Amino acid sequence: METNKIAVNKLNLFYGDFQALHDINIEIKEKEVTALIGPSGCGKSTFIRTLNRMNDLIDIVKIDGTIQYDAMDIYKQWDLIELRKKVGMVFQKPNPFPMSIYDNIAYGPRTHGIKSRQKLNNIVENSLDQASLLDEVKDRLHKPALGLSGGQQQRLCIARVLAVEPDVVLMDEPTSALDPISTSRIEDLIDELKKSYTIVIVTHNMQQAGRISDKTAFFLHGKIEEFGGTDQIFFNPVSSKTEAYISGKFG
Amino acid sequence: MIRQHYEDELAELNRDIMKMGLRVEEAISLSIEALKNKDTDLAQRIINDDTIIDKMERDLCDQCALIIARQQPVAGDLRHLISGIKIITDLERIADHAVHIAKGTIKMAGEEYIKPLLDIPRMAEMSCSMLSRAVIAYVEQDAELAFKIAKDDNIIDDMHKQIVRELLTYMMQDPKKIEGGMSLMYMSRFMERAGDHVRNICEWVVFDETGEHENL
């Protein structure tokens, strides 16, 4: 159970001359929820984006150090398409494609070459079911996804990630645009999904980290100030800065 | 149901407090068995097993603290957790009284009791019944039941007063009985204190449900 899914070693990241991440070392365990918390600009979103090489899209980004996924270097040994399939991402604002609910989910599998209608039907149904959205949309799969509520759209985006059978799901503030009820539903969903997936979640809401994660990393000024079990971080943190942040005294 | 994980944690806490309650109840009733039968082996076992109850208290305290730290409970849930933390302290103290009785049993093992043991076992029986109902009242957040249980403590208090009077009479008649009389008086006092702790538990159950501190 305690296998390393992702191992980051001495990671430094620069936007041009500005160093955004300093000497990051972290091990992310399989089938656990790891939460990344910290004040704005601390590097947590930059960090999560390195895990499936989203920062490749930004020209001025320079990276040194290593990131291994399943014990293979994600820059040197993993094919980018394959990596992004295995390590999926859910963003802050729900971003369904302007097409039907069904086509949103089927988009990824189709891109990966699945054409059989039956197979696609199964994938769509399973993914929606895993994202606990199926019951709400099963009668309108061919209606536009943009007609769903914000919370439903976000669960659709999660279903869309699950449809390509990932191994790791990265979530960058997945509930910050949602109301409290939708947020609770997503949190319950994360608790359910961790039985099958490894989850890394960036959250501005440290209470959310407390509620849903197994491990918590507190980022500050581009460094990991403290990383440990969420029980320990929220009950007895080692660093006084961590304590001040989780107590709401700064940030 | 939303926040399923949180609900599960609260349910688990209730279950664990019930387990601790059962264990404490067992310690009290076994300690009286040991006293009645002058069973020093059983008494020693109760003394040894008290560490298990102490550990339960510490673990439950951490369990409550972690739920507070991670789930930020408010209102009724917060009161339930605070009451839980207070109640486990009373449970642990009740178990300590079982240990005191066990120690007394060992000390008095070679002596004849100066009077037959009738009322003290009755007090213990009553404390155990109050205790198990009080834990149920906590889990079910039933303040009405807590009020009823607390009233029963008056009966235990009266029994204690009566035992003291009776033992004083024996001791005045024959000063050689003072040591034995004092020992039994302590036993009665331990049971009377156990009843007081159950009454405290009842007060926390009332706080849990109503948010009011009542002197029951």
At B1 the pLDDT is 60
**Least Cα separation, residue B162 to chain A (angstroms):** 49
Pull the structure tokens for residue B18: 């019930």
**Closest by Cβ to B5, choosing from A181, A188, A230:** A188
**Chain A interface, mutation test: which of B5, B61, B64, B74, most A Cβ atoms within 10 Å?**
B5
% of chain A residues with pLDDT over 90? 86
Confidence of residue A1 (pLDDT cuts 50, 70, 90): low
Q: In this complex, do B70 and A188 lie within 8 Å of one another by their Cβ atoms?
A: no
List chain B domain ranges. Answer: 4-210
Of A185, A188, A234, the CB nearest to B70: A234
CB-nearest to A210 from B2, B4, B69 is B69
Is the Cβ of B6 closer than 8 Å to some Cβ of chain A? yes
Chain A residues inside the 8 Å CB shell of B72 = 207, 210
- Shortest distance between the Cα of B198 and any Cα of chain A, in A, equals 30
pLDDT 10s per residue in chain B (216 long)?
678 889 999 999 999 999 999 999 999 999 999 999 999 999 999 999 999 999 999 999 999 999 999 999 999 999 999 999 999 999 999 999 999 999 999 999 989 999 999 999 999 999 999 999 999 999 999 999 999 999 999 999 999 999 999 999 999 999 999 999 999 999 999 999 999 999 999 999 999 999 999 998
> Residue A182: its pLDDT value, please?
87
In chain B, which residues have their Cβ closer than 8 Å to the Cβ of A188? 2-5
Which CATH superfamily, name and number, covers B4-210? Phosphate transport system protein phou homolog 2; domain 2 (1.20.58.220)
CB pairs under 8 A between A and B: 34
- Interface predicted TM-score of the whole assembly (ipTM), two decimals: 0.74
**B65 touching A (Cβ < 8 Å):** yes
* Closest in A184, A191, A234 to B69, CB measured: A234
User: What tokens appear for B129 in the block?
Assistant: 């019944």
**Dihedral pair phi/psi, residue A218, rounded to 5°:** -100, 115
Nearest to B70 among A181, A191, A211 (CB): A211
Residues A162-194 have pLDDT tens digits of 999 999 999 999 998 888 888 998 999 999 999
Q: Which chain B residues are closer than 8 Å to A206 by Cβ?
A: none
Answer yes or no: are the C-beta atoms of A215 and A227 closer than 8 Å: yes
Looking at per-residue confidence, does A1 or A212 come out higher?
Answer: A212
φ/ψ bin of A199: left (φ > 0), alpha (ψ from -120 to 50), beta (otherwise): beta
Inspect the interface and report whether the beta carbons of B66 and A234 lie closer than 8 Å.
Answer: yes
Is the pLDDT at A251 greater than 90? The verdict is no
Residue B61 pLDDT = 97
Kindly state whether A179 is in contact with chain B, defined as any CB-CB distance less than 8 angstroms.
Answer: no
CB-CB under 8 Å, B71 with A234: no
Read off the pLDDT of residues A25-44 as tens digits, 9 standing for 90 and up: 999 999 999 999 999 999 99
Which chain B residues are within 8 Å of A194, Cβ to Cβ?
none
Residue B191 · residue B123 · CB < 8 Å = yes
Residue with tokens 């009451």: B83
Would the CB atoms of A211 and B65 count as touching at under 8 Å?
no
Residues of B with Cβ-Cβ distance to A207 under 8 angstroms: 72
Best residue in B1, B67, B70, B77 for a mutation probing chain A (most A CBs within 10 Å): B70
Interface test with B, best of A232, A234, A247 (most B CBs within 10 A): A234
Domain boundaries, chain A: 4-246
Query: For residue A126, which of A164, A100, A174, A91 has the smallest C-alpha distance?
Result: A164
CA distance B104 to chain A (A): 41
Burial A168-186 (b: 16+ CB within 10 A, else e): bbbbbbbbebbeeebbbbb
Residues of A with Cβ-Cβ distance to B59 under 8 angstroms: none
**What's the confidence (pLDDT) of residue A23?**
97
Q: Cβ of A195 under 8 Å from any chain B Cβ?
A: no
Provide the mean pLDDT of chain A: 94
Three state DSSP letters for chain A: CCCEEEEEEEEEEEECCEEEEEEEEEEEECCCEEEEECCCCCCHHHHHHHCCCHHHHCCCEEEEEEEEECCEECCCCCCHHHHHHHEEEECCCCCCCCCEHHHHHHHHHHHCCCCCHHHHHHHHHHHHHHCCCHHHHCCCCCCEHHHCCHHHHHHHHHHHHHCCCCCEEEEECCCCCCCHHHHHHHHHHHHHHCCCCEEEEECCCHHHHHHHCCEEEEEECCEEEEEEEHHHHHHCCCCHHHHHHHCCCCC
Render the burial of B96-113: b for 16+ CB within 10 Å, e for the rest.
bbbbbbbbbbbebeeeeb
Q: Which band of pLDDT confidence, cut at 50, 70 and 90, is reported for residue A2?
A: low
Cβ of A184 and B2 within 8 Å? yes
**B74 interfacial to chain A (CB closer than 8 Å):** no
From the candidate CATH numbers 3.40.50.300, 3.40.50.10210, 3.40.50.970, 3.40.30.10, the one assigned to the domain spanning A4-246: 3.40.50.300
